[in-house]
């Protein structure tokens, strides 16, 4: 399985470290690349965009702190990649923001 993480802060870092202890490939989109050096040394692969992450992974884990962060990242993914096999949102996002994002994706398709 190929897992992607967007958000490697206080919650995302420990999740990423645990994933790297398994036989799973880990891909990271890092909005703050300086935070992922230790994960790269342990075997994570950094990709340059959320769209690239979506194209590479079977499952995406979001761990972003605020609604605007979630919106910025998810609306940057082309419509044809929006149907990720699984998207595990571990953010504190308010539901109406997710509905807004989903409606935007539907408009693109």
Domain 2-108 -> CATH class = alpha beta
Hey, what are 74's tokens? 């998810």
Q: Please say whether the dihedral angle defined by the alpha carbons of residues 87, 53, 107 and 94, taken in this order, is positive or negative.
A: positive
Q: pTM of this prediction?
A: 0.75
- Residue 55 confidence (pLDDT): 85
Whether the per-residue pLDDT at 6 is higher than 80: the answer is yes
- Mean pLDDT along residues 10-26: 92
Look-up of token digits 């420990």:
14
Q: What are the distances in angstroms from CA 49 to CA 22, 36, 73, 74?
A: 24, 15, 9, 10
Binned at pLDDT 50, 70 and 90, residue 85 comes out as: very low
The domains of the chain are located at 2-108
């Amino acid at each position: 399985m190929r897992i992607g993480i967007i958000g490697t802060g206080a919650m995302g870092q420990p999740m990423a470290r645990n994933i790297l202890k398994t036989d799973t490939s880990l891909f990271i989109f890092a909005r703050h690349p300086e935070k992922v050096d230790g994960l790269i040394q342990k075997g994570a692969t950094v990709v340059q965009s959320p769209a690239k992450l979506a194209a590479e992974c079977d499952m995406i884990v979001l761990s972003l702190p605020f609604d605007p962060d979630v919106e910025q990242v998810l609306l940057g993914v082309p419509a044809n990649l929006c149907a990720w096999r699984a998207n595990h949102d571990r953010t504190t996002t308010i539901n109406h923001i997710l509905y807004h994002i989903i409606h935007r994706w539907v408009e693109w398709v």
